[in-house]
């Protein structure tokens, strides 16, 4: 059985790791982009941002000020046992979010949307949010995503229903135009990790877009060749736009475009575009039944899709 002591520590450490370090695939994407970007303010912005990240990692400071929405993605082993029962899992996570906020590893960023009431600890109605996959085994895998507000609030997230008549061109046009308007003046901190959710209901497509942007490893490709080809084409096309880091111009406009899909109603195709910041913050820990824990460097959320 996983004790609360083990669980709490693992969750807390995962949150802190997400906001004060950078995952290896994102680190590599920065370094690759720096190699390919040769001049101009976009290059300066990329260098500065990477330096800011490294300063944060070296000094255990936030790699970006805006720690955003606290999001948990949990792969729950079907035989997992948590001290006090699995129904207490979310409450423990909420407590760790509050503790991490108190310790300044999260900025107290979320509050009541109407009254402005601020708990000061990032815990409130429906936040933090939880998404589950039930998997074989007795471990609990906790993925924590610190979802930045820039990419979420300023045009990094778009939704539209297209006709089947619009086809792949329609999807591609929507992605390109969404990204251009979202990136104006560095609103969404490009080069982004773009997620595209195609098909399903509005919420399914938005969820797929969010997970594709925040949880897919950079450089991974969708296993279906048609979808992988769409990802490659979109990446190439977006990098032709010259948006660069923070909309300041350059060849490195996007770190990746990840497409996930759900079967669509014959009436129309829901398409969502989601963006995650160049400093995408995510961390993963596997908590085993014998109370050992393992850090996973990249999540494999879409494994077995």
Partner 1 sequence: MATYHLQVPLKDEEIRKLRIGDIVFFTGEAFTTRSKFQRYIFDQGHEFPFSLKGRNLLIHCGPVVIKEGGKWKAVSFGPTTSIRFEKWGPKSIKNWNLKCIIGKATMGESTQQAMKEYGCIHVSMIGVTSNLGLSQIEIKDVFLKDEMGSIEAPWLVQCTDYGPFLVDIDTNGDNYYDTMDEIFKQNKKKAFEYLNIPEDFDYTKLY
Buried b (16+ CB within 10 A) or exposed e, 133-144: eebeeebbbbbb
255 binds partner 1 (CB under 8 A): no
| CB 175, min distance to partner 1, A | 10
Question: How many DSSP H helices and E strands does the chain contain?
Answer: 8, 9
Interaction between residue 176 and partner 1 (CB under 8 A)? yes
Contact between 65 and partner 1 by CB under 8 A: the answer reads yes
Q: Does 52 bind partner 1 (CB under 8 A)?
A: yes
Residue 54 CB-density burial (10 A; 0-12 exposed, 13-18 middle, 19+ buried) = middle
Residue 40 lies near partner 1 (rule: CB under 8 A): no
Q: Which DSSP helix (H) or strand (E) runs through 128? A: none
User: Rg of the chain's alpha carbons, rounded to an integer?
Assistant: 19
To 5 degrees, how large is the angle CA 84–CA 89–CA 92? 95
- Residues 213, 192: Cα–Cα separation, whole Å: 8
Q: Does 186 bind partner 1 (CB under 8 A)?
A: yes
* 7-15, 37-45, 207-215, 221-229 -> range binding partner 1 (CB under 8 A): 37-45
Tokens, residue 305 = 């899709």
Q: Does position 143 bind partner 1 by CB under 8 A?
A: no
Among 233, 290, 295, 297, binds partner 1 (CB under 8 A): 233
Tokens matching residue 288: 């085993």
Per CB under 8 A, does 227 bind partner 1? Answer: no
Separation CA 142–CA 15 (nearest Å): 10
Q: CA 16 to CA 37: how far, in whole Å?
A: 31
**262 lies in the site for partner 1, by CB under 8 A:** no
**196 touches partner 1 by CB under 8 A:** no
**Among 73-81, 133-141, 185-193, 258-266, the segment contacting partner 1 (CB under 8 A):** 185-193
**Residue 124 in the binding site for partner 1 (CB under 8 A):** no
DSSP 8-state assignment for residue 243: B
Which of 47, 83, 90, 300 binds partner 1 (CB under 8 A)? It is: 47
107: contact with partner 1 by CB under 8 A: yes
Binding site residues, partner 1, CB under 8 A: 41, 44-49, 51-53, 55-56, 59, 61-66, 104, 107-109, 111, 116, 118, 120, 150, 153-154, 160-163, 165-166, 169-170, 172-174, 176-177, 180, 183-187, 189, 233, 236-238, 240-243, 245-249, 268, 279
């Amino acid at each position: 059985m996983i004790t609360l002591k083990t669980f709490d520590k693992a969750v807390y450490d995962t949150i802190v790791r997400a906001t004060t370090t950078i995952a290896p695939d994102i680190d590599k994407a920065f370094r690759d982009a720096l190699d390919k970007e040769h001049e101009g303010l976009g290059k300066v912005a990329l260098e500065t941002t990477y330096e800011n990240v490294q300063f944060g990692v070296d000094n255990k400071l936030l790699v970006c000020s805006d720690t955003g929405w606290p999001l948990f993605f949990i792969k729950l082993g079907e035989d997992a046992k948590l001290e006090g029962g699995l129904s207490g899992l979310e409450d423990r996570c909420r407590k760790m979010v509050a503790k991490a906020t108190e310790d300044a590893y999260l900025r107290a960023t979320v509050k009541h949307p109407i009254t402005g009431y601020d708990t000061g600890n990032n815990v409130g109605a429906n936040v933090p949010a939880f998404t589950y996959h039930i998997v074989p085994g007795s471990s609990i895998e906790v993925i924590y995503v610190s979802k930045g507000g820039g990419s979420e609030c300023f045009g990094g997230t778009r939704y539209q229903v297209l006709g089947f008549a619009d086809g792949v061109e329609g999807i591609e046009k929507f992605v390109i135009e969404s990204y251009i308007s979202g990136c104006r003046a560095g609103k969404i901190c490009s080069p982004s990790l773009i997620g595209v959710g195609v098909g399903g209901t509005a919420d399914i497509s938005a969820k797929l877009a969010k997970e594709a942007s925040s949880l897919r490893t950079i450089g991974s490709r969708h296993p279906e060749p048609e979808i992988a080809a769409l990802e490659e084409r979109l990446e190439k096309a977006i990098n032709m736009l010259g948006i660069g880091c923070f909309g300041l111009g350059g060849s490195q406009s996007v770190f990746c475009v990840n497409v996930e899909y759900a079967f669509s109603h014959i009436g129309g195709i829901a398409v969502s575009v989601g963006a995650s910041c160049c400093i995408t913050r995510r961390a993963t820990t596997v908590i085993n039944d014998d109370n050992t824990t393992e850090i996973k460097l990249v999540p494999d959320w879409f494994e077995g899709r």
